[in-house]
Chains A and B, each alone.
Chain A
Amino acid sequence: MSYTPTDVRRSTPAGPPPSRWRLPRAVGWVLWAAISVLGAFAVSVLANDRGEPVSSMWMVTAAVCIYLIGYRFYASFLAAKVMALDNRRATPAERLRDGHDFEPTNKWIVFGQHFAAIAGPGPLVGPTLAAQFGYLPGALWIMVGAVLGGAVQDFVILFCSLRRDGKSLGQMAREEIGKVGGFVALITVMLMMIIILAVVGLVVVNALKGSPWGTFTIFATMPIAIFMGLYLRYLRPGKVLECSAIGFVLVLAAIFGGQAISTSTYAPWFTYSGVALAIALIVYGFMASALPVWLLLAPRGYLSTFVKLGVVLLLGLGVFIVHPQLQMPAFTRFVDGTGPIFAGKIFPFCFITIACGAVSGFHSLISSGTTPKLMARERDATATGYGSMLLESFVAIMALIAATSLPTGVFFAVNSPAGIVGTTPAAATATISNWGFPVNPAEMQRLADGVGEKTLFYRTGGAPSLALGMAQIFSSFIHGNQEVLAFWYHFAIMFEALFILTIMDTGTRVGRFMLQDLLGSVWPKLGQTNWKPGMLGTSAVVVAAWGYFLYQGVVDPLGGINSLWPLFGIANQLLAAVALCVATTVLVKMYRARFMWITCVPLAWLTVVFFTAGWQKIFDDAPALGFLAQADALAKGPQTSATAALIFNARLDAGVTAVFMILVAIILVDSIRVWIGILSGSREAKNTETPFVLTRLPEEA
């Protein structure tokens, strides 16, 4: 069917949303003006670097004011004028209600479910790494990127899926743009999954390397998860909350157990190198993908979700009560691209490093997955789609505060690889002090002793420095002194590792299903998910793919994060580009072309950032930045089998980046072709929305 502008007008709801109580208009304007002034003042305090620490409350204030204004004005504009959300229209949850996937659910419960699904380690680790540029660039990108880009993407895709029976991003890309768009979306998700699993695996490896306490705690979560699986299946079926509470107590006990282990003669049993931990993760990923879901994956997923929400809440509370001083300057000298954590100038790499927390393509998979199937009212999409992204962005701000409240010298000592700062504590602290961030070996050792670690040098990946910052905040407001610092440090490491492992086991499984779907079209037997040889074979292929990149990151002399995190950021923003192309196409087909800018502006920004970063990662002359230059530099040195492997890895990374760039170019060209066709009248604006059905749900569903 094809729509006309008259149909569009007819579907536009009349009048404002129902409300029990409203502020008088004049009071409202005064209030919003006050919020705007306060927000502008907070940003100016942050931006005005006086060479002394700034209270983190200014960052919190700036973020909250910007989010409030964005939500009240921009999100309302999108909901009313652009998408014309209509509470009279029955949602897929109502029309297709089946008691399983489709079920009209309370607005705030859907909000909580959606937030729990989109919040991962990205908004915690990305801002921590990007803090090498100073606190200001990351903070501004997180706030502005979320309000104008990330939240818009999540919201519009949720709306598109709501109006299309809860279809997935891939299905919408195929139907709205064409077969090429659908295929690009599928390949993008698969490639992104592989890179994500490798990079989050690297974060865990770097956090647990040489740490018997952390390793014991994380190892212990596996038998705990299996116990929970058995408990839930045979002992107390259906008692998920009870089982998760027991699991949480056991995990806390494991943290205390880890402390005892780390000082006992069993410590060497749990002290591993990066390579050994990478192999352990690869084996774990394969087992988790092949084992029954109920035994390991599901109970760990529940535990991880509850712990994640609890810690995010605790972190917010901690920052609010403690409001630590930001020790990091607004800008560091590394804006010129010579940073030790990852190479590259502030543009484009600040915007690539912080993906989740500002604009995350992965969210579009959630917005077009479970969430639209639970929404009772169309207008609930504003809080769920736009609001939960703002909350995730706020989590990223909390992580940035935790990381930048560490002394700057300590931050760089923890996050810099030995290949950059020197292989001994004395050399590392001398290099970092020469950069203008004083730190000394005794201070680092005291800190390491305080958190129960042998050393905190070269703990790249972001997780240890974030854990350190979080532990300082938690120990300040819960206990009031530093005695419990070690517990909170390992609690934070456990929290990060727990839900990273959940992503790894779920991601491996999802990758396996996708590969089976793909191969099933060639040989149907391979598509059968219950055929053991197919299941094991495809699991092995997926694990081998991310395992290779993980191994490559572990043996990388520059710490791995330098190569893999930008690849992950590029992949994530590639998916965001796919989502924004789909969203723009839908707007054009809805005769809302005059509002194309709302998706085209973030799309254009991401495209510029993406292509600049991709081009520099492949072709830049500096070996620390350009993959090909790195391969050439290695080729000129002495040749060993290790060097040959590093050269191959650098060229492989260049190839992967080039594939990402080609995929973006394809989806962009294909989408623009469709837009021009519709706008010039040579192509029919075939609307794929499901027809309007009047809701039968009562007002407060």
Chain B
Amino acid sequence: MRKFFCFVMALLRELGDENAYQRHLAAHGVVHSPTEWRRFCDAHWLAQSRRGRCC
């Protein structure tokens, strides 16, 4: 049950881009800050918004 809950949370974090943000912090060797989040969002969402959502 615990494993399932962990999986659901991991999936939600992936869908909510929280994992992607953690990867961004690790890749750039920086810590979380509002500025860093905004920098991540601007690049990430711009790329995301170029991809259509399925019908």
A122 and B55 form a contact (CB under 8 A): yes
Residue of A109, A121, A302, A365 with most chain B CB atoms under a 10 A cut-off: A109
Main secondary structure of the interface of A (DSSP, over half): helix
Q: How far is the CA of A563 from the CA of B28 in the complex (A)?
A: 52
Query: Shortest distance in angstroms between A578's beta carbon and chain B's nearest beta carbon?
Result: 15
| Chain B residues positioned under 8 Å from A366 (CB to CB) | 54
Report if A542 contacts B (CB, 8 A): no
Instruction: Tell me whether A503 and B49 are in contact (CB under 8 A).
Output: no
Q: Determine whether the beta carbon of A356 is less than 8 Å from that of B14.
A: no
Determine the residue in chain A with the shortest Cβ distance to B40: A238
The answer to whether A502 and B53 touch (CB under 8 A), given A99-B24, A233-B38, A294-B42, is yes
Would A302 and B11 be within 8 Å (CB), given that A120-B53, A237-B37 are in contact? no
Instruction: Give the residue of A103, A108, A113, A510 whose beta carbon is less than 8 angstroms from that of B50.
Output: A510
Which residues from A are CB-within-8-Å of B41? 232-233, 293-294, 298
- Among A323-371, those with CB < 8 Å from B are 355-356, 360, 362-363, 365-366, 369-370
Are B16 and A120 closer than 8 Å at their CB atoms?
no
Q: Is A109 a contact partner of B54 (Cβ separation < 8 A)? A: no
* A293 and B24 within 8 A (CB): no
The residues of B that contact A189 with a CB separation of less than 8 Å are: 52
CB distance from B45 to the nearest CB of A (A): 4
For B55, the chain A residues whose CB sits under 8 A away are 120-122, 196, 200, 355-356, 360, 362, 503, 568, 572
List the A side residues contacting B24 at CB < 8 Å: 99-100
When each residue 1-27 of chain B gets 1 if its CB lies under 8 Å from chain A and 0 otherwise, what string results? 000000100111111111011011011
Query: A-B pairs with CB below 8 Å: how many?
Result: 129
Whether B27 lies near A99 (C-beta < 8 A) is: yes
- Residue in contact with B28 in the complex, picked from A99, A109, A120, A306, CB distance below 8 Å: A99
Selected from B14, B16, B32, B33, the residue in CB contact (under 8 A) with A244 is: B16
Residues of A within 8 A of B15 (CB): 112-113, 116, 302, 305-306, 309
Residues in B with CB closer than 8 Å to A301 are 48, 53
User: Are A241 and B13 within 8 A (Cβ)?
Assistant: yes
A478 within 8 A of B: no
A418 at the interface (CB under 8 A from B): no
A178 to B47 alpha-carbon distance, docked (Å) = 27
Q: How far is the CB of A88 from chain B (nearest CB, A)?
A: 25
B54 touches A119 (CB 8 A): yes
**In the complex, what's the smallest C-beta–C-beta distance from A253 to chain B, in angstroms?**
21
Chain A neighbourhood of B51, CB < 8 A: 365, 369-370, 506, 510
Q: Contacts of A506 on B, CB cut-off 8 Å?
A: 49, 51-53
* A309 and B8 alpha carbons, distance in the complex (Å): 11
Instruction: Tell whether A100 pairs with B43 under 8 Å between CB atoms, given A112-B15, A365-B52, A502-B53.
Output: yes
Docked complex Cα distance between A140 and B49 (Å):
35
Residue of A with least CB distance to B9: A241
User: How many Å from the CB of B54 to the closest CB on chain A?
Assistant: 5
Q: B11, B27, B42 — which one has the most chain A CB atoms within 10 A of its CB?
A: B11
Shortest Cβ distance from A655 into chain B, in angstroms? Answer: 22
Contact B18 A240 (CB under 8 A): yes
- Give A117 to B48 CA distance when docked, in angstroms: 11
CA distance A596 to B25 in the complex (A): 45
By the criterion CB–CB under 8 Å, are A513 and B28 in contact? no
A443 nearest CB across to chain B (Å): 33
* Bound-state Cα–Cα, A179 to B33, Å: 46
18 further A-B pairs in the complex, CB-CB below 8 A; given A121-B55, A507-B53: A99-B24, A100-B43, A103-B20, A108-B7, A109-B10, A116-B15, A120-B55, A233-B37, A234-B34, A237-B34, A237-B37, A238-B37, A240-B18, A302-B17, A306-B16, A355-B55, A362-B54, A363-B54
Q: Which A residues lie at the B interface, using CB under 8 A?
A: 98-101, 103, 105-106, 108-109, 112-113, 116-122, 189, 193, 196, 200, 232-234, 237-238, 240-241, 244, 293-294, 297-298, 301-302, 305-306, 309, 355-356, 360, 362-363, 365-366, 369-370, 499, 502-503, 506-507, 509-510, 513, 568, 572
- By a beta-carbon cutoff of 8 Å, the part of chain B in contact with chain A is 7, 10-18, 20-21, 23-24, 26-28, 32-34, 37-38, 41-55
10 interchain residue pairs of minimum CB distance = A99-B27, A240-B16, A237-B37, A122-B55, A293-B45, A112-B11, A237-B34, A510-B52, A120-B54, A99-B23
